[in-house]
């Protein structure tokens, strides 16, 4: 019989410390992750890797604000993550708060005692980081992996200040056409992990697709921005 379960990982980091942590999955059952949430003293970023299959969950380390919800408003994954029995999850975690940071991560889902096939889809997120100088713009690109197609169904972003950054974006898999007719405020494109922009028409990116960004900062101070395209790899 399948049963609800949660894996909890406590972490303590000194100011600006970066360290690795392990979370073993029990050997008697596979585990399906459906929700992710945390409590913490301050911001952090991390990479999660399934060491059993050497599979990373993201293209780059993700900020905690973009990935972890709360028990009341959890991050409900667009694609549940299958963790095989005996899997070791590795966490590469870095404090961003500049102070002692006590963190508790929770992965909620259910145990399956029968063998669960991996299937041809798997959760993944592309991460793109920007630092935009004061009253300036940055042009950059992201190239998707050569191994699989990718379907993004949720858009999530962290920004250091609200309502001061604007974005133009185009994708080669969509004939390089602009996604919006002109510069658009980030908050009108990307939601938060608690309230993501759930795309009614998910975007499919072919292997080696190119996403071009032009980011405009209208503020007299430099801005930090992390964009997250949350979705599924398709083999």
Residue range 124-135, pLDDT digits in tens? 999 999 999 999
**Cβ-based neighbours of 170, under 8 Å, separated by 6 or more:** 176, 177, 178, 179, 211, 212
Structurally, the chain folds into a number of domains equal to 2
* 129 and 112 belong to one structural domain: no
* 46 and 133 belong to one structural domain: no
Quick one: tokens of 131?
A: 């630092």
Instruction: Report the 10 Å Cβ neighbour count for 31.
Output: 21
* 194 and 149 belong to one structural domain: yes
pLDDT digits (tens, 9 = 90+) for 207-226: 999 999 999 999 999 999 99
Q: Average pLDDT in the 161-179 region?
A: 88
72, 104, 119 - which closes a domain: 119
What is the C-alpha to C-alpha distance for residues 176 and 174, in angstroms, rounded to an integer?
5
Mean pLDDT for all residues in the chain:
95
Tell me the percentage of the chain whose pLDDT exceeds 70.
99
Q: Average pLDDT in the 100-119 region?
A: 94
What is the C-alpha to C-alpha distance for residues 206 and 227, in angstroms, rounded to an integer?
19
Strand partners, 215: 138, 167
* 209 and 175 belong to one structural domain: yes
Show the domain range for 106: 3-119
* 73 and 179 belong to one structural domain: no
pLDDT at 172 over 90: no
* 108 and 17 belong to one structural domain: yes
Q: State residue 1's pLDDT score.
A: 67
Q: In CATH, what number is assigned to the domain containing residue 175?
A: 2.60.120.230
* Span between the terminal Cα atoms of the chain, in Å: 30
What is the C-alpha to C-alpha distance for residues 99 and 51, in angstroms, rounded to an integer?
30
* 113 and 129 belong to one structural domain: no
* 81 and 174 belong to one structural domain: no
119, 141, 163 - which closes a domain: 119
- Specify the pTM: 0.95
- Using alpha carbons only, how large is the chain's radius of gyration in Å? 18
* 64 and 80 belong to one structural domain: yes
pLDDT at 52 over 90: no
96, 119, 142 - which closes a domain: 119
What is the C-alpha to C-alpha distance for residues 167 and 162, in angstroms, rounded to an integer?
13
What is the C-alpha to C-alpha distance for residues 30 and 68, in angstroms, rounded to an integer?
22
* 100 and 48 belong to one structural domain: yes
Q: Average pLDDT in the 101-113 region?
A: 97
* 145 and 60 belong to one structural domain: no
Collapsed DSSP state (helix, strand, coil) of residue 188: helix
* 99 and 130 belong to one structural domain: no
Q: In CATH, what number is assigned to the domain containing residue 33?
A: 2.60.120
């Amino acid at each position: 019989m399948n049963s609800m379960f949660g894996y909890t990982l406590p972490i303590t980091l000194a100011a600006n410390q970066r360290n690795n942590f392990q979370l073993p999955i029990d050997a008697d059952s596979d585990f399906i992750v459906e929700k992710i949430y945390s409590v913490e003293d301050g911001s952090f970023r991390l990479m999660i890797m399934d060491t059993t299959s050497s599979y990373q969950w993201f293209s780059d380390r993700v900020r905690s604000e973009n990935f972890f919800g709360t028990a009341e408003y959890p991050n409900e994954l667009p694609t549940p993550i299958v963790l095989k029995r005996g899997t070791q999850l590795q966490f590469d975690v870095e404090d961003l708060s500049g102070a002692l940071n006590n963190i508790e991560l929770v992965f909620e889902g259910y145990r399956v005692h029968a063998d669960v096939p991996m299937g041809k889809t798997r959760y993944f997120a592309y991460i793109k980081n920007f630092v935009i100088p004061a009253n300036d713009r940055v042009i950059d690109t992201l190239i998707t992996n050569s191994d699989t197609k990718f379907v993004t169904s949720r858009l999530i972003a962290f920004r250091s200040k609200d309502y001061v950054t604007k974005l133009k974006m185009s994708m080669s898999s969509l004939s390089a056409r602009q996604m919006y007719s002109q510069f658009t405020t980030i908050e009108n494109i990307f939601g938060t992990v608690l309230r993501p922009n759930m795309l009614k028409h998910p975007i499919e990116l072919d292997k080696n697709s190119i996403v071009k960004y032009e980011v405009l900062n209208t503020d007299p101070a430099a801005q930090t921005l992390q964009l997250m395209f949350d979705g599924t790899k398709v083999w």
